[in-house]
Chains A and B, each alone.
Chain A
Amino acid sequence: MKMRVTRKEPQLAVAGAGVGDTAATAPVRRRRRMTLSVQRTLEGYFFVSPWVLGFIVFLAWPLFQSFFLSFHELQATSLSDLKFRGIDNYKEAFFIDARFLPRLRDTLQQNLLDVPVIMIFSLFSAILANQKIKGVMGFRAVFFLPLVIGSAQVIQQLFSQGVGGAVLSRGVNVQELAFQYLGPDAASGVEQLLNRLLFVLWKTGVQMLIFLAGLNSVSPVLYEAARVDGATDWDRFWKVTLPLLSPVILVNLVYTIVDSFTDTFNQVLQYIQQTAFAGGFRLGYAASLGWIYFAIVFIILATVVRVTNRYVFYAGERNS
C-alpha cells in the first residue's frame, strides 16, 4: 500500500500541473501542488460524504438519542411526555427485572456454544468444498442454499415442526444412548446440542464463503514446498493452511459473533422489542436494555479480538 502511494504521488503532481496550464511559473506551480492535495482531500470527502451523512442521521444521532432516552421514562403512547429517571432504568434491569438477566445469561451461554460450532463447521466444509474434485461446484451451490432461503420465519416454521434434531439423529436414539453412558447432565446437553445443531449449521453460509476466499488466496507454492519437505496433509493443514488463514479466522470470528448476537431469535433482542413495541411500550427502558446489551457485545468482541490477534499471523504483504 505504502509503496504504491509513494509511486503515485509524483506522477499525479505532474499530471495536475500539466492540466490546462500554459503559463505555469514556479510560485504558481507550488500553489497548484497545494491545491492538488487539497483537491484530493475534497475528492475523498466527496466520495465518503453520503456515508458520513447517513452515519450521522441513521446511526450516530439515534445512538446518542437512545443513550439519552435510557436515562428517561418515555411511553410510546405519549411521545412528548419525557421524564428523567437517572440510572433507575439500569438499576431496574439489573436488580428488579426478573426477566432480563436470565435471558441475557441464556443468550451468552448459547452463543458460547454456537460460535465455535459455526466456526469449525464452516472451516471444515470450506476445506471440503475447496478440494479439486469433480462436482465440487455443485456441492458449493448446495452449501450456499442457507444464505438464500435462511429466512428467520421459514426456519422457525420448520423447527416448530421438529425438523431439527430428528433429521440428524434419524434412527438412532442419541439421547437415550447419552443418558445411559454419560449420565443425565450430558444427555440434556446432547439433546440441546442436537436440536441446535441443524439450526446452527444453517447459519454458516457467509462464514464458509469467507473461508473459501481465504483458502483460495493461500499460494499453492507453499503447499508445494511443504510437500517437497515431506509434510503430510495433516502437517500442511496445521503448519501452512491454518497460520495463513488466521487473519481470515479473526474476520470470521468477528462476523460470527456479531451475527449471532444480532440474531432474530435472540431472547434478549426479542425482549427489548417486546418492551418497546409489543405490550410494554416503555421506550426509555428498552433503550437502556439495548445499551446494556450493546456494551456487553462490544466488550466481548474487544476481548476476543485482542486475545485472538496475538495468535494471528500476518504474512508480509497481506497486512495492508
Chain B
Amino acid sequence: MAVVSQQWVQRRPVWLRDTQVFRRRAVTFIQRAFTYIVLIDIAFVFLVPIFYILATSLKTAQDLTDPTIVWIPSGFFWINYPLAFLAMNYPRSLSNSLWISLGSAFGQTVSCAFVGYGFARIRFPGRDLLFALVLFTFLVPPQTIIVPLFILYKNLGWINSYNPFIVPSFFGHGLKGALFVVVFRQFFKTQPWELEEAARIDGASAFATWWRIMLPMSTAAIVVVFLFSVVWHWNDFFEPFIYLNRMEHFTLPMRLSVLSPSLDQVTGGQAGDLFNEALVMAAVFLVILPPLAIYMFTQRFFVESIDRTGLVE
C-alpha cells in the first residue's frame, strides 16, 4: 500500500503537486462552471416558451386540464395543426406576411444603403443637420403621426393594400428605417477609402462608385439589415392593424387575435368544442415557424454581424 501511494505521490499530475497551480486551475474551473450555469439559465429563459408552445400544441383537451401533464402530452395529438392552418387561412396570410416583410425589407435595404452612403462618405453643407433629423425620426412614436398618415393613405386609396408598408420603405423610412440608415452609415464609415478613391480618379460617378464598388463590399451589412427588417416587419402589429382591416389582407400574427371567430367560420360553428389553448399554441407555432426557419439558416449572420458590420465604431 505504502509503495503504491509513494509512487502515486511522485507521478501525480502537476496540478496536484503544486498548490499554486492547483489554486489557479480550481479558480478557472469554478469560473467556467459558473459561467456555463448562468449561460444555460439565460438560454433556458429564451427556450422555455418555444418548448411550451410545442408541448401545449400537441395536447388534447383532457391533457390541458390535467395538472400532472406539463411538458409531455399524453399522445401525439397533431390535429390542432391542420385546424389552425385552416382557421388562419394560412396560405393567404402567409403570402400577405411575406409580401409585406420581404417587400419592405428590400426597400429599406436598398434605400438605407444609398442614403447611409451619402451620410457616411460625402461632405456637403447641412449634412450634420440632416443626420440629426434622421435620429429625430427614430424618436417619434408612430402613434403620434398615425392619424395624418391614415388620412393620407386613405386619400391615396392605399388602405387594405401593401403600399403603406412598402412605399415608405423605399425612401428609407417605414419601420425603424432611421436605425438602418444609421447602421449603413456606421458601416460605410469603417470601410477603407482606397478603392473608392481609385474609382473616382478613374472617372466613376458617385452613383457608380456606390453601386459597383461599395455595395458589393457590404454584403455583411446588407444581410444584417435585410434580416432585421424582415423579422421586425413580420412581427409588427400596430401599423398592420390600422392599415389592413379586411381579414383577407391580415398578416399571420394578426390572425391570432381573430382565431376563435375564424375557426367558427371554417368548422361551421363548432369552435366552442375545438377552440382551446392547444389550438392557440399550434397557431402560434405556425406563425413563428417561418422566421424561425429563416433564423436557423441565417443565425450565423446574426451572431457574426457583431464583428462584421462595425456597428459600434
Question: Does A152 lie within 8 Å of B124, measured CB to CB?
Answer: no
Question: Does B143 lie within 8 Å of A272, measured CB to CB?
Answer: yes
Say if the beta carbon of B78 comes within 8 Å of chain A. Answer: no
Question: Does B45 lie within 8 Å of A148, measured CB to CB?
Answer: no
User: Which of A7-15, A26-34, A89-97, A109-117 contacts the other chain?
Assistant: A7-15
Q: A: which residues have CB within 8 A of B?
A: 4-5, 8, 11-12, 15, 19-20, 40-41, 43-48, 50-55, 57-59, 61-63, 65-66, 69, 79, 125, 128-129, 131, 133, 136-137, 139-154, 157-158, 161, 163, 167-168, 198, 201-202, 209-210, 212-214, 216-217, 247-248, 251, 258, 261-262, 264, 269, 272-273, 276-277, 283, 286-287, 290-291, 293-294, 297-298, 301, 318, 320
A–B complex contacts, Cβ < 8 Å, 24 sampled: A15-B200, A19-B203, A20-B203, A43-B122, A50-B114, A50-B171, A51-B130, A59-B140, A69-B148, A143-B42, A143-B43, A147-B231, A153-B237, A153-B253, A153-B257, A154-B256, A161-B277, A161-B281, A209-B306, A247-B312, A269-B143, A287-B148, A290-B141, A290-B145
| Cα separation A247 to B312 with both chains bound (whole Å) | 9
Most chain A CB within a 10 A radius of its CB, from B42, B152, B287, B310: B42
- Given A131-B35, A148-B291, A47–B148 Cβ distance below 8 Å? no
Question: Does A48 lie within 8 Å of B119, measured CB to CB?
Answer: yes
Question: Does A286 lie within 8 Å of B256, measured CB to CB?
Answer: no
Least CB distance from A256 to B in Å reads 13
**Which residues of chain B come closer than 8 Å to A213, judged between CB atoms?**
306, 309-312
**Which residues of chain B come closer than 8 Å to A54, judged between CB atoms?**
111, 168, 171-173, 177
Most chain B CB within a 10 A radius of its CB, from A20, A44, A52, A277: A44
Most chain B CB within a 10 A radius of its CB, from A57, A153, A283: A153
- Given A58-B171, A69-B148, A133–B237 Cβ distance below 8 Å? no
Q: Which of B39, B154, B234, B313 contacts A128 (CB 8 A)?
A: B39
Least CB distance from A240 to B in Å reads 16
Least CB distance from A52 to B in Å reads 7
Question: Does B312 lie within 8 Å of A214, measured CB to CB?
Answer: yes
Which residues 249-268 in B have Cβ within 8 Å of A in the complex?
253-254, 256-257
Question: Does B302 lie within 8 Å of A201, measured CB to CB?
Answer: no
Least CB distance from A18 to B in Å reads 8
| Cα separation A247 to B311 with both chains bound (whole Å) | 13
**Which residues of chain B come closer than 8 Å to A262, judged between CB atoms?**
141-143
| Cα separation A131 to B210 with both chains bound (whole Å) | 37
Nearest 9 A/B pairs, CB to CB: A47-B118, A54-B171, A44-B124, A65-B148, A290-B144, A62-B148, A151-B235, A62-B145, A44-B122
Q: B: which residues have CB within 8 A of A?
A: 32, 35-36, 38-39, 42-43, 45-50, 52-53, 56, 111, 114-115, 117-119, 122-125, 127, 130, 133-134, 137-152, 154, 168, 170-174, 177, 181, 189, 193, 197, 200-201, 203, 206-207, 210, 228, 231, 234-235, 237-238, 242, 253-254, 256-257, 277, 280-281, 284, 287-288, 291-292, 294-295, 299, 302-303, 305-307, 309-313
- Given A40-B124, A262-B142, A148–B231 Cβ distance below 8 Å? yes
Question: Does B256 lie within 8 Å of A153, measured CB to CB?
Answer: yes
Q: Closest residue to B303 on the A side, CB-wise?
A: A140
Q: Closest residue to B299 on the A side, CB-wise?
A: A141
